[in-house]
């Protein structure tokens, strides 16, 4: 049986390069050196996590998270 969707948070490693992804609500984590490799690894990780006895997602979404620092200068 299939469920709605599984969402992965994707982070780019600014220091070492590459990407890491973690599924929200599941213990699924993977990484890749490129976006193409990450997408393939996400599909493989989902296939390994959900077998024929468990509900599989109909859709896998990648949510790209960008960490930005905002600084505010206060002058009096």
Model confidence, pTM: 0.79
Burial code (b: 16+ CB inside 10 Å, e: under 16) for 35-56 equals: eeebbebbeebbeeebeeeeee
Q: How does pLDDT run across 4-49, given as a tens digit for each residue? A: 899 999 999 988 899 999 999 999 999 999 999 999 999 999 999 9
Region 46-55 average pLDDT: 87
Q: How does pLDDT run across 58-70, given as a tens digit for each residue? A: 899 999 998 766 7
Q: For residue 1, what pLDDT band results from cuts at 50, 70 and 90?
A: very low
């Amino acid at each position: 049986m299939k469920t709605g969707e599984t969402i992965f948070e994707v982070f780019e490693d600014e220091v070492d390069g590459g990407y890491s992804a973690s599924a929200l609500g599941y213990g699924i984590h993977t990484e890749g050196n490129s976006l193409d490799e990450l997408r393939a690894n996400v599909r493989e990780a989902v296939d390994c996590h959900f077998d024929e006895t468990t509900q599989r997602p109909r859709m896998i979404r990648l949510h790209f998270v960008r960490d930005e620092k905002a600084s505010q200068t206060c002058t009096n």
